[in-house]
Homo-oligomer: A and B are copies of this chain.
Amino acid sequence: MSRKKQIEQTATALFKSKGFSATSMRDLANALGIEAASIYSHIKSKEEILQRVCFRMADEFFEAIDAAEATGGTATERLQHAIAAHVQVLTNNTEASAVFLHEWRHLSEPFHSQFLSLRDTYEARFRRIIRTGIENGEFTVPDEKFAALTILSGLNWIHTWYKPEGKMTPAEIAGNLSLMLLMGLKTKTDTTLPKSHLTTP
C-alpha cells in the first residue's frame, strides 16, 4: 500500500474517534511514527485528506445505489436493494463512513457546497423510489421527503457499533432494517394505532 493511502487511513481513524478539528497533524504523525512535517511530503494539506475521504465515499455510495437501482423491480424491491447497498458501503468501511457522515462540515468552500449538493442528489434518489411506491400504491406515507430522511438516518447510525467480526452480516443487517422500516414494529394482524391519538384533517 502506498504511503499516502496509509496516511489517509490512519487519519480517517483519528478523525472518526476525535473529530477533524481536534486531530492535530502532530497526533497523526505520532500515530504513524513519524514527524508532523514529514507528512507534507505526501499530502498538500490537512484538509486534502478530509476532501479525499468525503468525496471517495460519496462516489462509493453513488456506485452502490446505481447498481441497486439497475436491478429494477417494484418500488419495494428497489428500496430494499438501495437499503442493502447503502448498508454495504457503510459496513465496508465504518471509519470512512463516520468521517463522511460527520466531518464534512469542516470542508472549506467550494468543497463544502459541492458535498452538500452531492448529498442532496443522493437523498433525491431515495425520495424518487419512495414517490414511485406511493404513486402505485405500494407505500402509504405522509410525506415522501420525510420518509426518505427517516430511512436514511435510521441507516446511518450503523457505523457506531458495527464490527466485521460481529454476529450479523451486512446482508442480515440490511434485511432487518428493511423489515423494520418497511413493515414497522407493529404485528401485521393488528396494525391500528390507538384511535384517541388520530385525527383526519
Contacts and interface: CB of A to CB of B under 8 A. Distances in A.
Contacts of A18: 105
Interface stretch (A1-9, A43-51, A56-64, A149-157): A149-157
A35 interface: no
| Tally of this chain's copies | 2
A52 interface: no
Contacts of A184: 180-184, 186
Contacts of A197: 77, 80, 142, 175, 198-201
Given A106-B22, A149-B157, A187-B140, A182 B176 contact: no
Interface in A123-157: 130, 133, 137-143, 146-147, 149-154, 156-157
Interface residues of A, number: 60
A102 B101 CA distance: 11
Interface string A174-193: 01111111111111111111
A38 interface: no
A21 interface: yes
Nearest to A140: B187
A76 interface: yes
Nearest to A145: B161
A198 B175 CA distance: 9
8 contacts: A80-B197, A140-B188, A140-B195, A143-B176, A178-B193, A183-B184, A189-B190, A194-B199
